[in-house]
Amino acid sequence: MRELSLHILDLAENAVTAGARLVAITVEESAAADRLAIRVADDGPGLPEEKLRRLEDPFVTTRTTRRVGLGLSLLAAAARRAGGGVEVRSAPGAGTEVSAVFRLGHIDRAPIGDVAATIAALIAGYPAVDFVYRHRIEEREIALDTRELRTAAEGVDPADPALAEGIARWLREELGRLARGGKEGCDAQDDC
């Protein structure tokens, strides 16, 4: 996978497929710490100990359509290539948390990609699942919680493509502001 947003999509889809009702996605970027961390936690059934031990093994999968589950092993390889690694914490009945860490400035770190579109696609694609998305850049952070959206957006059809577009546009703006250190948009010649 060329972009980290696609790994986020895979992790969230793993959680939804396993039966999670709540998926928390956290991205933390810090140039100061040379660190990029992605964490996807869910309230699903968790993984049995045996599976947990062999999770990075591409032959571990519940897929029946093909034998090889690649998502987690590709993520682990991408993280290792960029000076980091993956950690999975899970217990039967207690959900699963996958953390991937990368060196932000590593030459082999994959680009983050369009996380805004990924989050919007997840929200629109799985209307029965709640998502909590937090994105931190240095000391600043944005957050989106679909449990709050639900009460605010009564009567909105979750499958309406305009909803996903609206969420993606809003998140993209917020992420842009975050990347600029909280300043409003400004011209290239400005010091921002």
Ligand X SMILES: Nc1ncnc2c1ncn2[C@@H]1O[C@H](COP(=O)(O)OP(=O)(O)OP(=O)(O)O)[C@@H](O)[C@H]1O
The identity of residue 75, as a single letter, is: L
Chain positions 69 to 98 lying near Mg ion, rule: CB under 5 A, are 71
Using CB under 6 A as the criterion, which residues of the chain lie in contact with ligand X when the complex forms?
10, 14-15, 18, 42, 44, 47, 55, 60-63, 69-73, 96
Q: Which does 96 bind (CB under 5 to 8 A by kind): Mg ion, ligand X, none?
A: ligand X
If one counts every other C-beta atom within 10 angstroms of the C-beta of residue 70, the result is 14
Q: Which does 150 bind (CB under 5 to 8 A by kind): ligand X, Mg ion, none?
A: none
Q: Which is nearer to ligand X, 44 or 84 (CB)?
A: 44
Least spacing, CB of residue 73 vs Mg ion, in Å: 10
Q: Which does 84 bind (CB under 5 to 8 A by kind): Mg ion, ligand X, none?
A: none
The helix (H) or strand (E) run that includes residue 74 is helix 71-81
C-alpha 173/C-alpha 98 separation (Å) is 27
The CA-to-CA distance between both ends of the chain, in Å, stands at 32
Least spacing, CB of residue 139 vs Mg ion, in Å: 33
Tell me the per-residue interface mask from 2 to 31 with Mg ion, x by CB under 5 A, - otherwise.
--------x---x-----------------
Residue found under tokens 């921002």: 192
Q: Is 119 exposed, middle or buried (0-12, 13-18, 19+ CB in 10 A)?
A: buried
Q: Which does 15 bind (CB under 5 to 8 A by kind): Mg ion, ligand X, none?
A: ligand X
CB 110 within 8 A of CB 51: no
Q: Which is nearer to Mg ion, 57 or 145 (CB)?
A: 57
